[in-house]
Each structure stands twice: as structure tokens, then as C-alpha cells.
Amino acid sequence: PIPKYQPNAVVYNELFTRDGGGEIDGIVLGIAADTCANLMYRLEHDQFQSLQAKVVWLLIGTNDLGAQKCSSDAVTAGIVAIVQKLQQLRPDATIVLNSILPRHNKLMTQIRDINERLECLARSTPDRLQYFDATNIFLNEDNGQLQHLPDQLHPDDLGSRLWGEEIVKRAKMILAG
């Protein structure tokens, strides 16, 4: 990993690898600056064919908003298309839609809009599709300011730990049936 994110790698190993002491084994497939189009390309070209995950945790869309300046409609449509492709490729897997993490105020209206749509999608499609709202981990309860996101985009090690612990809890609930 990039040196400034090395502490996050330690947290990942502790939470998501049994060798590191974690309760579940996970694999990160995200790529820096990834967009919905990039991920869809990889899905359509069988780059995940060998993975047999029981739980797929999906966090995508922030780079579409920020760097690509896409509309809320475009980002939501991209995420829905990815969900449909994942359901086609892994019909027995449970897909968890992670909320787009909060960012600076300019994007928060769009982020809230997209997250509301994703939550609605998961509620209306309860079989093997869930929504996970991580917003409160990264917003200060008292003043609504960002916390644990030093660059207003990537979690610091404490944010990664708090978020990761909640992911592990949810994944274990899903795996337990």
C-alpha cells in the first residue's frame, strides 16, 4: 500500500485475515480512483471469475462524483448495473451496498441522494441484497463535521478500524444465516 495508508493495511490484516487474528477472511478488490465503469468492465471481462465469495461488500461511486463529476442519476444507475451483474455472476452471494462515505459539503447533497436510493433498492430487494450505512462512523454526532477522513476521502486507521469492525459484525450475521 501507499505509505500513508500503511496503518490501514495493518487494520485490514487484523480484521479481515484469519492469519492476522480476524474472524473472517476478506479480499479487497478496489483500485485507486476506481469508477463504476472501471468495475463494470472488470466484471464483464471475467476478472472475478475464480472468486466464490458468499458475501460481496460493494463500495463504489465516490470517484464518479468527485473526479468524473457524474450526476446522482448516473452514479446510481452505474451502481445498480453493477449489482445486477454481481447477482448474475454470483446468484448465491449476498451483496451489501455500502453507503458512499461522506465527503466535503459540495458533494454531500449528491451523496445523501445516492445513499437514499441505494437503501431503497436494498429494502425493495430483500433477498440477498442489503444496505450498510457507514455515514455515522465518519460524521461527528455533535457538529456534523467529517471525522476519521483526514483528506476528506480516505479513512484514517481509526476510521478503518471502526468501519471494519462493523463490516465484520454484519458479514458474520449474514454468514450465520
Q: What is the CATH number of the domain that holds 161?
A: 3.40.50.1110
Angle at CA 148, nearest 5°, toward 143 and 151? 105
Cα 69 to Cα 120: distance, rounded to the nearest angstrom: 23
The per-residue pLDDT string of the chain (177 residues; one tens digit each, 9 = 90 and over) reads 678 888 999 999 999 999 999 999 999 898 889 999 999 999 999 888 888 999 999 999 999 999 999 999 999 999 999 999 999 999 999 999 999 999 988 999 999 999 999 999 999 987 899 999 999 999 999 988 999 999 999 999 999 999 999 999 999 999 998
Beta bridge partners of 129: 95
Pull the grid cell for residue 109. Answer: 447533497
| Tally of structural domains, the chain | 1
Residue 55: CB partners within 8 Å, gap ≥ 6? 93, 94, 95, 96, 171, 174, 175
Which residue range forms the structural domain that includes residue 58? 3-176
Query: Do the beta carbons of residue 91 and residue 48 sit within 8 Å?
Result: no
- Supply the pTM of this predicted model: 0.95
Q: Which three cell numbers stand for residue 155?
A: 479513512
The string of pLDDT tens digits covering residues 56-105 is 999 999 999 999 999 999 999 999 999 999 999 999 999 999 999 999 88
Number of other CB atoms surrounding residue 114 within 10 Å? 25
Dist. CA 3–CA 31, nearest whole Å: 16
Residue pair 171/55 in contact by the 8 Å Cβ criterion: yes
